[in-house]
């Protein structure tokens, strides 16, 4: 896209007294938008030629003064040409600030994202999980595609991000990338972190997210009922891999561990409590919160089953866990064999622990939150809502049964 660009030197104000010098300013105009700056020079208005924007005369003073103006003009032209060559979407203010800061580069959005992701990559397993890094990498990719699609640019100054840009990005995610509402907002939230960094470093004057409100939709999390969990546990399966994946899943159902946490579990994480019972003591990969989980009988039986497994002995792990991708693929096959119509995934086991195994059996919500490693009780309360819904559904069935009995008695 071609942008019109002009420069104009002019006197800032007038003075009625003779021989009183007034400051010279430079007006930059890009596509009709102006920005002005002082060039740190003053001149007697009588010596100024407003038509040419130069000092009158051909004496040494005039020559040196006009050479200074030419130097400023040339520096501005070089900055403008650099922006054009880099195919930037720039403003007169960008050129002004680049000149005032001695040609310093305007902070660019994708460049800032790359810097953030590069630092995050070095902190994987220190401050961030690999999955978190991958989500930010994907967010950056979506931003790049959005810029090409909507702006025909590979990058823009971060200060050009406004509320319109944010809402446009959300729309792009939902329509072009076919993300559901919550997934789109998660990507927008990742993008928000980058913008907040820019605001904190004064690379952008005003937070464009100030008037942007995020409202996630409530998603009902699936879990196995007591009957489904029992059917899965007792099902006779052929093939070692199916059995390993099923046992890993059931182990998570009775410990609340996520896939990544059970994969990292070692014998060092199994400790004996003061009462003689065995506990899992570990750190959640996602939140780094400490876990202390009593090992229930079913989980203990699975551990004992694999204590002499070659991988357990060789790699010093508790269970011979397959990759998450393979585990989820096998779980779909297992669900069919067990007659379970729900989308069986490794994470559904954690939901089952929270609902069917603990809350449904009267374990206080505060205890469940601690077992799950939640830092905020509100996260755990979502599971309590599921249980309350189940109670309401069961009571509705009871009401209908009582109504039928009452109607029959009334007809006698």
CATH number at 257 reads 1.10.443.10
Name 119's bridge partners: none
Instruction: Indicate the residue among 40, 75, 100 that finishes a domain.
Output: 100
| Predicted pLDDT of residue 412 | 52
- The set of residues, in sequence order, having a beta carbon less than 8 Å from that of 249 and lying 6+ positions away, is 232, 327, 331, 334, 344, 346, 349
Is the predicted pLDDT of residue 392 greater than 90, yes or no? no
pLDDT digits (tens, 9 = 90+) for 339-377: 999 989 888 999 999 888 988 888 888 888 888 888 777
Q: Establish if 153 belongs to a structural domain.
A: yes
The answer on 174 and 27 residing in a single domain is no
Q: Average pLDDT of the chain?
A: 87
Q: Establish if 196 belongs to a structural domain.
A: yes
Q: Which residue has the higher pLDDT, 319 or 1?
A: 319
The answer on 115 and 90 residing in a single domain is no
Q: Establish if 402 belongs to a structural domain.
A: no
- Please tell me the least confidently modeled range out of 88-102, 151-165, 217-231, 382-396: 382-396
Q: Which domain does 191 fall in, by range?
A: 109-200
Percentage of the chain modeled with pLDDT above 90: 49
| Predicted pLDDT of residue 159 | 85
The answer on 355 and 260 residing in a single domain is yes
The answer on 134 and 42 residing in a single domain is no
The answer on 121 and 82 residing in a single domain is no
- Please tell me the least confidently modeled range out of 44-58, 80-94, 125-139, 187-201: 80-94
Q: Establish if 403 belongs to a structural domain.
A: no
Q: Which residue has the higher pLDDT, 48 or 87?
A: 48
The answer on 382 and 354 residing in a single domain is yes
Q: Establish if 397 belongs to a structural domain.
A: no
Is the predicted pLDDT of residue 244 greater than 90, yes or no? yes
Kindly list the distances between the CA atom of residue 18 and the CA atoms of 43, 44, 45, 55, in Å, as whole numbers in the listed order. 11, 8, 9, 17
Place 395 in a pLDDT band, splitting at 50, 70 and 90.
Answer: confident
The answer on 238 and 369 residing in a single domain is yes
The answer on 237 and 176 residing in a single domain is no
The answer on 231 and 377 residing in a single domain is yes
- Residue 260 gets which letter from DSSP? H
**How far is Cα 350 from Cα 386, in angstroms, rounded to an integer?**
14
Is residue 105 helix, strand or coil? coil
| Predicted pLDDT of residue 26 | 93
Place 86 in a pLDDT band, splitting at 50, 70 and 90.
Answer: confident
Instruction: Indicate the residue among 100, 133, 153 that finishes a domain.
Output: 100
Is the predicted pLDDT of residue 281 greater than 80, yes or no? yes
CA angle at residue 15 from 13 to 20, to 5 degrees? Answer: 115
The answer on 255 and 157 residing in a single domain is no
Spatial CA neighbour of 222 closest among 110, 31, 390, 104:
390
| Predicted pLDDT of residue 103 | 46
Give me the number of domains the chain comprises.
3
Place 409 in a pLDDT band, splitting at 50, 70 and 90.
Answer: low
The answer on 53 and 115 residing in a single domain is no
The answer on 187 and 246 residing in a single domain is no
- Contact 320/306 with Cβ under 8 angstroms? yes
Q: Establish if 58 belongs to a structural domain.
A: yes
| Predicted pLDDT of residue 389 | 60
Percentage of the chain modeled with pLDDT above 70: 92
Q: Establish if 128 belongs to a structural domain.
A: yes
Q: Establish if 311 belongs to a structural domain.
A: yes
| Predicted pLDDT of residue 402 | 79
**How far is Cα 353 from Cα 250, in angstroms, rounded to an integer?**
9
């Amino acid at each position: 896209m071609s942008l019109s660009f002009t420069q104009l030197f002019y006197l800032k104000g007038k003075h009625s007294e003779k021989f009183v010098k007034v400051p010279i300013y430079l007006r930059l105009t890009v596509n009709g938008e102006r920005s002005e700056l002082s060039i740190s020079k003053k001149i007697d208005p009588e010596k100024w030629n407003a038509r040419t924007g130069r000092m009158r005369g051909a004496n040494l003073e005039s020559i040196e003064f006009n050479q200074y103006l030419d130097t400023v003009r040339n520096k501005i032209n070089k900055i403008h040409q650099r922006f054009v060559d880099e195919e930037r979407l720039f403003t007169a203010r960008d050129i002004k600030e680049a000149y005032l800061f001695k040609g310093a580069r305007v902070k660019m959005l994708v460049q800032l994202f790359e810097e953030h992701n590069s630092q995050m990559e070095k902190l994987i397993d220190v401050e961030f999980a690999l999955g978190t890094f991958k989500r930010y990498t994907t967010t950056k990719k979506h931003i790049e595609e959005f810029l090409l699609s909507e702006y025909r640019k590979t990058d823009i100054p971060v200060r050009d991000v406004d509320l319109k840009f944010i809402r446009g990005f959300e729309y792009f995610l939902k329509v072009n990338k076919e993300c559901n509402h919550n997934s789109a907002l998660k990507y927008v939230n990742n993008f928000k972190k980058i913008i907040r960094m820019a605001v904190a470093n004064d690379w952008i004057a005003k937070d464009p997210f100030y008037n942007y409100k995020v409202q996630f939709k409530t998603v009902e999390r699936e879990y196995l009922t007591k009957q489904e969990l029992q059917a899965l546990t007792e099902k006779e399966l052929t093939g070692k891999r199916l059995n390993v994946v099923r046992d890993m899943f059931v182990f998570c159902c009775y410990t609340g561990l996520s896939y990544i946490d059970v994969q990292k579990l070692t014998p060092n994480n199994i400790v004996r409590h003061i009462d003689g019972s065995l506990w899992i003591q570990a750190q959640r990969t996602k939140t780094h919160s400490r876990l202390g989980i009593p090992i229930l009988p079913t989980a203990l039986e699975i551990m004992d089953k694999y204590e002499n497994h070659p991988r357990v002995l060789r790699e010093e792990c508790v269970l011979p866990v397959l990759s998450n991708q393979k585990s989820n693929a096998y779980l779909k096959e297992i669900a069919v064999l067990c007659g379970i119509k729900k989308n069986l995934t490794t994470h559904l086991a954690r939901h089952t622990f929270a609902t069917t195994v603990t809350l449904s059996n009267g374990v206080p919500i505060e205890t469940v939150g601690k077992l799950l490693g939640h830092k905020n009780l509100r996260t755990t309360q979502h599971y309590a809502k599921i249980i309350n819904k189940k109670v309401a559904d069961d009571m509705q069935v009871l009401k209908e049964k009582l109504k039928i009995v009452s109607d029959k008695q009334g007809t006698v």
